[in-house]
Amino acid sequence: MSSVVHLANNYIYIASFTLFLIGFSILLLNSNLIKKIIGMNIMDTSVFLLFISQGYIKGRKAPILEGGGSVNPAEYVNPVPSALILTGIVVAVSVTAFLLALTVKLYNLYGTVDMDEIIEIRRSVDGNS
C-alpha cells in the first residue's frame, strides 16, 4: 500500500518515464525522419524533466540570491540540475539542427523523407547501376 502512495506522490517521475518511452519508441520505430526527430526531442525533454524535478524542493525560491547580506541556503531550490539542463538543451538543439540539415539534404537527393523509401531507391539504383 505504501508503495502506491509513494508512486502517486512521485507523479512527475511517472510522467517523465512514460514520455521517455514514447520518445524512445517513436525514434526507434518510425521510418519518417521528421517523426524521428520529434521523437528524439520528446525523449530529451523527458530526461530534462526528470533531472529538474529531482532538484525541486517544495516551497523554496529560484536560486537567484536577493540582495547582499547572509544567504540562507535553505530558502533556495537546488541549482545544480538547472545548470546541467542548460547544457543538455543546447546539446539537444545542436543534434536536432544537424538531423534537420541531413533530412533537407536527403530530401534534395532522394525526393522523400521516409527512410524505407530511401533504402528502396538506393537498392534499385545500386541494383541496375
Partner 1 sequence: METVRNFPVLIIYIFFIGSFIQPLVRNVRISLLLTVAISAVSSAASAAVVYYVRTNGDFLFDVAPWSAPWGIELSIGTLEAFVIAVICSVGTLISIYGIGMVEKEIPARNIKIYNALFLALLGSMTGIAATGDIFNMYVFIEITSITACGIISVKDDKKSIEATVKYLVYSSLASGCILLAIALLYGITGNLNIRYIHHHLTEVMYLYPRNVLLASCLIIVGFGLKAAMFPLHFWLPDAHSSAPTTSSAVLSALVLKAYSVGLIKILTGVFGIVVMSLLPLKTILMYLGSGAVLIGSLLAMTQSRIKRMLAYSSVVQMGYIFLALSLFNRTGFTGALFQILNHALTKTLLFLSAGNIKYYTGKESIEQLKGIGYRMPVTMAVFSVGALSMVGLPMTSGFNSKWYIGYGAIEAGKIGVLIVIVISSLLNAAYYLPVVVSAFFRRPSPGDEIQQPVNLPWFTSVPMIVMAVLIIVLGLYPDPVINFISGAAKIF
Partner 2 sequence: MIEDNDIILKQAARVLTPFILIYGIYITFHGHLTPGGGFSGGTVIASSLILNRISSGNHGSGPEIDRMMGIASIALVCYGLIKAMGTFFPDFTHRVLPRGIPGDLLSGGAILPLNIAVGFVVACVMYIFFCLIGEEA
Partner 3 sequence: MKRITVGLLLGAMLVVLLSTVSEMPQFGSPSNPTHNYISSRYVGKSALETGAVNVVTGIILDYRAFDTFGEATVIFVAALAVISVLARGGRSGD
Q: What is the CA radius of gyration of the chain?
A: 22
CB-based contacts of 15, cutoff 8 Å, min separation 6: 46, 49
Residue found by looking up cell 511517472 in the block: 14
DSSP state string for 8-38:
HHTHHHHHHHHHHHHHHHHHHH--BHHHHHH
Exactly one of 71, 109, 120, 124 binds partner 1 (CB under 8 A); which one?
109
Q: Which stretch binds partner 3 (CB under 8 A): 17-25, 34-42, 113-121?
A: 17-25
Exactly one of 27, 34, 95, 115 binds partner 3 (CB under 8 A); which one?
95
**76 touches partner 1 by CB under 8 A:** no
Calpha distance 15→100 (Å, rounded): 27
- Contacting positions for partner 1 (CB under 8 A): 20, 23-24, 27-28, 33, 36, 40, 43-44, 47, 50-51, 54, 80-81, 84, 87-88, 91, 94-95, 98-99, 102-103, 105-106, 109-110, 115, 118-119, 122
- Contacting positions for partner 2 (CB under 8 A): 62, 64-65, 67-68, 86, 89-90, 97, 100-101, 104, 107-108
